[in-house]
């Protein structure tokens, strides 16, 4: 596990994990409010959202990124008290 980002005031954290030849980035918010466009400098490469803890199929409000791919400085939608998982795709 490698810490990528923390912001105490916003209660947001991000860390990456390597396993099985894949790299994943978990971005979590412990904030009581959702963020519509949270700016975060992503590690090099392209990152595709593959999981959203707030998806409607899990009973959430569907605050997320709809499986979008990001790179560089990204504006991510982060659910309140939830997380999104991004997979490095290149």
Extract the runs of DSSP E, i.e. beta strands, from 30-66: 35-41, 47-52
Give how far Cα 30 sits from Cα of 8, 48, 88, Å: 10, 22, 24
Structural domains in the chain, CATH included, are 2-88 (2.60.40.1180)
* Beta bridge partner(s), residue 9: none
pLDDT at 90: 84
pLDDT at 75: 97
What string of pLDDT tens digits covers the 90 residues of the chain? Answer: 899 999 999 999 999 999 999 999 999 999 999 999 999 999 999 999 999 999 999 999 999 999 999 999 999 999 999 999 999 998
């Amino acid at each position: 596990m490698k810490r990528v980002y923390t912001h105490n005031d916003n209660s947001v954290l991000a860390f990456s994990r390597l396993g099985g030849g894949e790299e994943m980035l978990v971005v979590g918010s412990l904030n009581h409010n959702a963020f519509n466009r949270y700016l975060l400098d992503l590690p090099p490469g392209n990152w595709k959202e593959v999981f959203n803890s707030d998806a409607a199929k899990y009973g959430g409000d569907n605050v997320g990124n709809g499986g979008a791919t990001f790179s560089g400085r990204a504006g991510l939608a982060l659910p309140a008290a939830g997380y999104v998982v991004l997979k490095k795709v290149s």
